[in-house]
Amino acid sequence: MTGIALLTVPTADPGDTHAFQVLTESGYRADDLVSVIGKTEGNGCVNDFSRGLAAAIWEPRIPEAAVTVFSGGTEGVLSPHVNLFVRDEKRYPGFDRGLVAAARRSRSLDPAEIGRAAQIDTVTETVAKLLAELGVTPGDVHLVLVKCPLLTSDTITALHTAGQVPVATDTYASMGFSRAASSLGIAVALGECDRETALSALAGEADVWSARASASAGAELDDCHILVVAESPTAANPLRAVHGHMTDAIDLASVQQLLSRIAAEGGTVRQIFAKAEADPTGSVRGLRHTMLTDSDINATRHARGAVGGLLAGLKGDGAVYVSGGAEHQGPPGGGSITVIYELPTPDRNEAP
């Protein structure tokens, strides 16, 4: 088990490491880092070097076993920040359970494997290992975050030269296939569908999704970085999580429902992890959107901007983790959503 604390720290730019100071001031050490989950301010697409810069700065400074996930794109009111998942085994008085988390890198994927069965399997296996490590069951899990590779012009050409067929010849499109495979790998690992169904879904012939999957792709890595967040009786801390999904990009009601559950427990929202996408039908509740016909701004940027506006309004600040491209992460046009919150210390709650 790995009880955790969560620190959310704004960043002045993708290379800003002020968060280490906050870490220290909060009584933790870099060695305690389980995972760094950041929103950086690039385009969130193929040529997003804000992610690469953040990775270049952070990777040498964190433990070997820790993983980074940098998701590009802080459109609109979204604010660049990092979420530090820190090992905190302390047993907070008055709590008999708490959030735990573990992270791992998968093996490297060959470009020919990206967006295909091999990626599904690799993610499934790695998530399974993480569940075992944490000693939790799929039912305890609230969030599985994956950063996975994409195809560039170079890798596509190399595949062609080798007589192999890439999953996509468009680099931006390859991001979607990679996210899809990762998410289906999560769904299999969490027992939400079997491998066969996942393969059908990847082929576009089955509709499967996980409300706990959050995958983003990047050119800055060739393996998968995976973080699992779960609730466990082996820990004792005030952090809790709820998860659910938005049925479309304006599904205020579903989010309010999650927030109401938290409010009912007297909890304080600490962070929202949400996926967003342009509804593939080209409309939301019967009204046309233009995200998929806009050749100036990619659809994932539009989706983050819109859902980010809604969630930042609800959270009261822009340091929300909204990631674009929600293939099999919530229903089509919607997205998975996990809210991490903090319970009040019991003595505050109970009458004397």
Q: Which residues are annotated as a binding site for Mg(2+)?
A: 277, 326, 329-331, 334
- Measured N-to-C along each axis, helices 117-134 and 171-189 cross at an angle, to the nearest 10 degrees, of 40
Closest CA to 212 of 50, 93, 47, 337: 337
Are the CB atoms for 275 and 326 separated by under 8 Å?
Answer: yes
The least CB distance from residue 141 to a copy of itself, in Å, is 27
Which residues have C-beta within 8 Å of that of residue 103, sequence separation ≥ 6?
34, 35, 65, 66, 67, 85, 130, 225, 226, 227, 228
Dist. CA 23–CA 7, nearest whole Å = 8
Smallest distance, a copy of itself to C-beta of residue 96, A: 34
Report the nearest approach of a copy of itself to the CB of residue 153 (Å): 3
CB of 117: closest distance to a copy of itself in angstroms?
21
| Binding-site residue positions | 51, 71-72, 179, 216-217, 277, 304, 323-324, 326, 329-331, 334
Question: Looking at the annotation, which residues are catalytic?
Answer: 147, 216
Of 104 and 270, nearer to a copy of itself (C-beta) is 270
Binding residues for substrate: 51, 71-72, 179, 216-217, 304, 323-324
**Beta carbons within 10 angstroms of residue 77's beta carbon:** 16
Q: How far apart are CA 221 and CA 227, in angstroms?
A: 15
Q: Which is nearer to a copy of itself, 90 or 285 (CB)?
A: 285
**Residue among 256, 284, 250 at smallest CA distance from 272:** 256
Q: How far apart are CA 147 and CA 67, in angstroms?
A: 9
Q: Which DSSP symbol is given to 205?
A: S
**Choice between 266 and 313, CB closer to a copy of itself:** 313
Beta carbon nearer to a copy of itself, 39 or 240:
39
